[in-house]
């Protein structure tokens, strides 16, 4: 609510209200009020707000998630938005100045709080000692943007809603909506959970291979036990008991390793949130027990092969000597392929189940890398601009001080666009400008009332924001709404809603539904002819500039540098850079992608080594016979290597076919968690997706299978003596 609003006393008098706490915020209009290392700051975008340590009605936490109980005089904490793009350490000195009045301040670190946003486009919040707050209040000039938050604990929120409706520019944010401040942080968490699920599936398939390999290796012992009268159940129980012990030991080691690893993964996605492994011991033990149970299930199903083995297998190298399969469609006599290639393909089609599973695992490993690449690239792509309400353009001025007058008086947008056009003409750039702005207004539909941000584009025609259903507004009395806003009002396309803008209430017909990240997916888009009325709840993605003549990227960069000099601000960027700044997830996902690459290398090597050792053990007699008829080691090694290469190549083909549909599905699913969003089309880097990632998979496959296949050299032609 506004700083001078006197709502607190009435809130305290309401029945059912048992707590009211007020947090006053002085505003600091520009980053240039701060000096760091001898230079005026020009890094953060929005207006900065101050908080007194005497008004910490919610819990504040430092970078280590320790509770902050107070601030020493001459010191301050800040949220992440304040220190973006600068290299700062605890203990560094900043200077805050208002004309000739200066205050030296020591930086104490990042502050976290449930009601403080942190993304690059958010307002910086600074926690001061109460004495320093008095200095700011006495010497700052502009009080237009000063406001306050009132925290209320009450059983009946409807009474609060009705009371707040009487006060202009005041609105209620229920506790559940606070999560919207951290939605982009949750993107990385959701994606890591999905990738972890894929990785677990892959690992359990590796586990199945391991168990099957062990049984294949111990066919002789199993045959002997059956020969002396040990029944199938007893033999299987021996294996199950052995793997029970191994799984318990492994689960305990995994649980111990999960403690630091869990903290590391949480740190990677919670720089701005307080996330802890709550009930970590209980959850860890339950997870470990679940893993043991799954392993036992795998053991039980995999040991069914014991029932098929007979005592004669002990002397026949695990083979019955019988073949009931149909002959292969491939014929060596009619093939023009080299013998090594023919044998590799024949082996592959003769055991489609085994090599098919390998191919599926390779596909999953490759998708883990390429999906991360696509998602990271998409979250900094200009193709995402429409989700932030921006018009199609080439450059954005997102320096709040440049368009701050629109906060004060909505009609000032005309002067802002006019001075932008004059500035472009003065520096020799042909183009036009526009702004998309939004204010929060009361919206009514039937007996439902909600405070929604209403957006309108001025200047540039905004064709980027399109309707998912219906149409965008074509007339002044039409609006499009996000799905969340429709849900807030129990409305649908074709209904009429009443929107109170200033002192005037008008009816509008809902003509369409659109997607948006803004305000957590709650929003209304209005016709360009609608004029808004300013209040203290303002949103804008800055001034959008469209250059004439469709210049190339190099020319655009030159123009942007000219604009930076003209307005004396570094806060001018391309659409791609604006999206990256707004989401702040591209770099995080790139880090996750690098981790996925390492995991892919490890999992691929495990699969190749385990399977190749299993094949060598199973095909020992065949390898010995091949050597007996004069086939050299190099040919045998090449045959065994090529089989895995065929699987890898098939995985490349499959992953390429499903990559974009899978990327779009994942991106839309994750985006739906942070806004009311559908219809996102992912971007991709052809070099990385179609060359670098596939070459990693193929390279690891070739190296791993070739090195493991060298073990065939230990098999001699004389080993054919045991073949029947």
Q: How confident is the model at residue 165 (pLDDT cuts 50, 70, 90)?
A: confident
Are residues 264 and 347 located together in one domain of the fold?
Answer: no
d(CA 196, CA 265): 11
Angle at 267 between CA 263 and CA 271, to 5 degrees: 150
Asked if residue 272 and residue 231 are part of one domain, the reply reads yes
Of the candidates 109, 97, 108, 106, the one whose C-alpha atom is nearest the C-alpha of residue 135 is: 97
Query: Sorting pLDDT into bands at 50, 70 and 90, what band is 161?
Result: confident
Mean pLDDT over 264-273 rounds to 63
Mean pLDDT of all residues belonging to the chain: 84
Q: Is 107 a member of any domain?
A: yes
Q: Does residue 202 fall inside a structural domain?
A: no
The answer as to whether 639 is a domain residue is yes
Q: With helix as H, strand as E and coil as C, how does 645-684 read?
A: HHHHHHHHHHHHHHHHHHHHHHHHHHHHHHCECCCCCCCC
Quick: pLDDT tens for 510-538. 999 999 888 878 899 999 999 999 887 78
Domain count for the chain = 4
Q: Are residues 562 and 635 in the same domain?
A: no
706, part of any domain: yes
Is pLDDT at 724 greater than 50 in this prediction? Answer: no
Whether residue 266 is found in the same domain as residue 355? no
Three-state SS string across 482-518, please? CHHHHHHHCCCCCCEEEEEECCEEEEEEEEEEECECH
Q: Which of 181, 209, 241 is the last residue of a domain?
A: 181
Query: Range of 538's domain?
Result: 384-579
Residue 511 resides in a domain: yes
| Residues 455, 365 share a domain | no
Residue in the structure block whose two tokens are 């008086």: 409
Same domain, 290 and 420: no
Which of 550, 579, 608 is the last residue in one of the domains?
A: 579
Q: Among 295, 323, 351, which residue terminates a domain?
A: 323
Is there a single domain that holds both residue 562 and residue 605?
Answer: no
**Predicted TM-score of the model (pTM):** 0.71
Do 159 and 305 share a domain, yes or no?
A: no
Q: For the chain, what percentages of helix, strand and coil (3-state, to nearest 5) are there? A: 50, 20, 30
Residue 639 in tokens:
């045959």
Residue 346 sits in the same domain as residue 425: no
Q: Are residues 300 and 245 in the same domain?
A: yes
- Tell me, yes or no, whether 423 and 563 share the same domain: yes
DSSP annotation string for 397-464: E--TTTSTHHHH-GGGHHHHHHHHHHHHHHTT--EEEEEEEEEEEEEEETTEEEEEEEEEEESS---S
The stretch 224-230 carries a mean pLDDT of 84
Distances (CA, A) of 134 to 1, 4, 179: 21, 17, 32
Instruction: Report the 10 Å Cβ neighbour count for 500.
Output: 16
Structure tokens at 73: 């005089």
pLDDT at residue 470 tops 50: yes
Q: Is 350 in the same domain as 443?
A: no
30-58: pLDDT as tens digits: 888 899 998 889 888 788 999 999 999 88
Mean pLDDT of 2-20: 86
User: Is 563 a domain residue?
Assistant: yes
Q: List C-alpha distances in Å: 33 to 90, 101, 141.
A: 20, 11, 12
pLDDT band at 296 (very low <50, low <70, confident <90, very high): confident
For residue 190, tell me if it sits in a domain: no
Q: Does some domain include residue 275?
A: yes
């Amino acid at each position: 609510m506004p700083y001078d609003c006197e709502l607190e006393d009435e809130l305290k008098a309401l029945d059912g209200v048992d707590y009211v706490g007020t947090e006053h915020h002085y505003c600091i209009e520009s980053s240039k009020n701060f000096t760091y290392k001898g230079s005026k700051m020009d890094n953060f975008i929005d207006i900065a707000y101050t908080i007194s340590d005497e008004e910490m009605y919610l819990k504040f936490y430092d970078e280590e998630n320790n509770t902050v109980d107070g601030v020493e005089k001459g010191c301050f904490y800040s949220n992440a938005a304040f220190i973006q793009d600068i290299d700062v350490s605890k203990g560094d000195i900043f200077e805050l100045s208002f004309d000739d009045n200066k205050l030296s301040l020591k930086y104490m670190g990042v502050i976290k709080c449930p009601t403080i946003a942190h993304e690059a486009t958010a307002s910086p919040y600074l926690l001061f000692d109460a004495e320093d707050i008095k200095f700011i209040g006495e010497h700052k000039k502009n009080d237009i943007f000063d406001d306050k938050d009132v925290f209320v604990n009450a059983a009946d929120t409807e009474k609060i809603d009705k009371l707040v409706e009487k006060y202009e520019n005041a609105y209620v944010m229920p506790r559940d909506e606070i999560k919207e401040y951290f939605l982009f942080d949750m993107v990385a968490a959701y994606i890591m959970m999905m990738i972890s699920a894929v990785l677990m599936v892959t690992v359990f398939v590796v586990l199945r291979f391991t168990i099957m390999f062990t049984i294949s290796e111990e066919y002789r012992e199993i045959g002997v036990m059956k020969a002396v009268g040990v029944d199938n159940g007893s033999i299987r129980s021996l294996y199950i008991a052995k793997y029970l012990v191994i799984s318990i030991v492994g689960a305990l080691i995994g649980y111990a390793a999960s403690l630091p690893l869990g903290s590391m993964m949480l740190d990677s996605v919670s720089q701005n949130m307080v996330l802890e492994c709550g009930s970590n011991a209980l959850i860890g033990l339950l997870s470990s027990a679940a893993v043991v149970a799954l392993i036992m299930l795998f053991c039980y199903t995999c040991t069914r092969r014991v029932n098929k083995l007979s005592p004669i297998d002990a002397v026949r190298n695990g083979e019955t000597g019988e073949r009931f399969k149909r002959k292969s469609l491939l014929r060596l006599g009619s093939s023009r392929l080299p013998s090594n290639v023919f044998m590799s393909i024949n082996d592959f089609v003769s055991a489609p189940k085994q090599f098919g599973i390998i191919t599926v695992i390779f596909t999953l490993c490759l998708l883990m890398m390429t999906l991360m690449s696509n998602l990271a690239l998409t979250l900094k792509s200009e193709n995402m601009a429409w989700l932030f309400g921006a018009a199609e353009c080439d450059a954005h001025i997102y320096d709040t001080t440049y368009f701050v007058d629109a906060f004060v008086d909505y009609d000032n947008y005309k002067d802002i666009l006019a001075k932008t056009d004059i500035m472009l003409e003065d520096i020799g750039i042909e183009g036009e400008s526009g702004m998309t702005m939004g204010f929060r207004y009361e919206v009514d539909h039937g007996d439902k009332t909600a405070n929604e941000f209403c957006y309108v584009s001025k200047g540039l025609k905004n064709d980027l924001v399109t309707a998912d259903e219906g149409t965008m507004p074509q007339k002044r009395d039409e609006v499009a709404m996000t799905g969340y806003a429709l849900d807030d009002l129990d409305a649908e396309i074709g209904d009429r809603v009443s929107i109170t803008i200033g002192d005037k209430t008008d009816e509008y017909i809902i003509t369409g539904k659109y997607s948006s990240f803004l305000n957590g997916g709650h929003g209304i888009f209005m016709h360009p002819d609608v004029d808004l009325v300013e209040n203290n709840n303002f949103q804008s993605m800055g001034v959008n500039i469209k250059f004439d003549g469709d210049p190339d990227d190099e020319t655009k960069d030159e123009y942007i540098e000219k604009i930076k000099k003209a307005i004396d601000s570094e806060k001018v960027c391309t659409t791609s850079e604006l999206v990256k700044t707004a989401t702040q997830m591209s770099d995080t996902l790139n880090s996750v992608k690098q981790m996925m690459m390492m995991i892919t290398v490890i999992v691929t090597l495990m699969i190749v080594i385990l399977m190749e050792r299993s094949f060598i053990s199973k095909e020992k007699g065949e390898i010995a016979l091949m050597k007996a008829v004069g086939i050299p080691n190099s040919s045998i090694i090449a045959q065994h290597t090529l089989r895995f290469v065929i699987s890898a190549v098939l995985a490349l083909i499959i992953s390429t076919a499903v990559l974009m549909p899978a990327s779009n599905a994942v991106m839309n699913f994750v985006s739906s968690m942070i806004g009311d969003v559908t219809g996102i089309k992912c971007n991709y880097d052809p070099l990385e997706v179609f060359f670098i990632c596939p070459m990693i998979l193929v390279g690891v496959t070739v190296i791993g299978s070739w090195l493991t296949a060298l073990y065939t050299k230990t098999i001699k032609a004389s080993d054919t003596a045991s073949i029947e």
